[in-house]
Amino acid sequence: MTQRVLEWVTGRLQEGETVALASVINAQGSVPGKPGAHMALTSAEMFGTVGGAGLEAKVLNHLREILSTGEGRVETYQLQRESKGKIGTPLNSLCGGIVTVAMEIIHPMPHVLLAGGGHCAQAIADASASLGWNFSVLDTRSEYANEDLWPDAEECVAAQPNEFLSRETTESLSRFSHVLLLGHDWEIDQTLLIGLLQRCEQRPRIGCIGSKSKWLAFEKSALDSGIPQKAIDSVICPIGINIGAESPQEIAIAVLAEIIADLKGVDSYSSSWRQ
Tens of pLDDT, residue by residue over 124-170, are 999 999 899 999 999 999 999 999 999 999 999 999 999 999 999 99
At the topology level, CATH places domain 111-264 in Rossmann fold (3.40.50)
> Regarding predicted confidence, which is higher, 88 or 22?
22
φ and ψ at 270, to 5 degrees? -50, 145
The per-residue pLDDT of the chain, averaged, comes to 88
Q: Read off the pLDDT band of 101 (50, 70, 90).
A: very high
State what percent of residues in the chain have pLDDT above 70. 89
* Beta partners for residue 157, in sequence order: 138
Compute the C-alpha angle 198/204/210, nearest 5°. Answer: 80
> Regarding predicted confidence, which is higher, 165 or 183?
165
Write out the E strands in 161-265: 178-181, 205-208
pLDDT (mean) for 180-196: 95
Q: At what angle do helices 186-199 and 212-224 cross, to 10 degrees?
A: 50
At residue 95, does pLDDT exceed 70?
Answer: no
At residue 85, does pLDDT exceed 70?
Answer: no
Express each pLDDT in 212-265 by its tens digit: 899 999 999 999 999 999 999 999 999 999 889 899 999 999 999 999 998 887
pLDDT (mean) for 21-32: 84
* Beta partners for residue 73, in sequence order: 103
What pLDDT, on a 0 to 100 scale, did the predictor assign at position 272? 44
The model's pTM: 0.79
pLDDT (mean) for 120-126: 96
CA distance 131 to 17: 19
Ranges of each domain in the chain: 2-106, 111-264
